[in-house]
Amino acid sequence: MTLNENMIRVVLVDDQQLFRSGLAIILGAQLDMEVVGQAADGTEALQTVAATRPDVVLMDVQMTPMDGVEATRRIFETDSAKLGRAPKVIMLTTFDWDKHAATAVRHGASGFILKDSTPEFVCASIRAVHAGSSVIAPQNLAALLESEPEPAREVPENFAALTDRETEVFAAVALGLTNQEISGRLFLSESTVKTHIGAILRKLELRDRVQIVVYSYENGIGR
């Protein structure tokens, strides 16, 4: 049987077999997804990813002996990653705002969602990151915005390189606003908003909107 090249190849990594099995059933029922491997910890995850070359990895944060954060760091340090062939990684967390998951985002993960997210949201998140977007579950973002920021620290030098308008756009992205919402709030066209976001990512050496949110939280700015 010829494999459908449009299928999203997924690897599931979690130390709870029952949870993995449930996810596998849900994803296997999707017409555009295929579970190509499973792993119970970070070490197995690295081996499985290397063997199956998935498009997306759902990675639990808390595992032993190697947790999901370290596994994610190693995935994005491989030769394949340097050649642009690393899979997208979505962190699975039990907590609304998980600093470990935020660290994984800095290492290269495309976002994080709660383990009790609805099947529809999990599938939508996989499709989103496969298409090049990033994700933070609404519950995660709400908890982040309501939480206390990290202790005050010196603002990174690269943040000072942002223009006044870029700083406004940065603050709006950090609040979880969409390009359309930012456009309406700041009276800019959506294409201009996209241009500013691109400049922000470049100047701050960030990869995507999720990293902007994490950067904002960790440095106590834009909130």
Question: pLDDT tens-digit profile of 23-71?
Answer: 999 999 999 999 999 999 999 999 999 999 999 999 999 999 999 999 9
| Nearest one of 188, 171, 183, 160 to 222, comparing CA atoms | 171
CB 1 within 8 A of CB 48: no
Task: Give this prediction's pTM.
Answer: 0.72
Neighbours of 12 (CB within 10 A): 26
CA dist 182 and 175 (Å) reads 10
Confidence at residue 1, expressed as pLDDT on a 0 to 100 scale? 34
Residues 115-141: tens digit of each pLDDT: 888 999 999 999 989 988 888 765 555
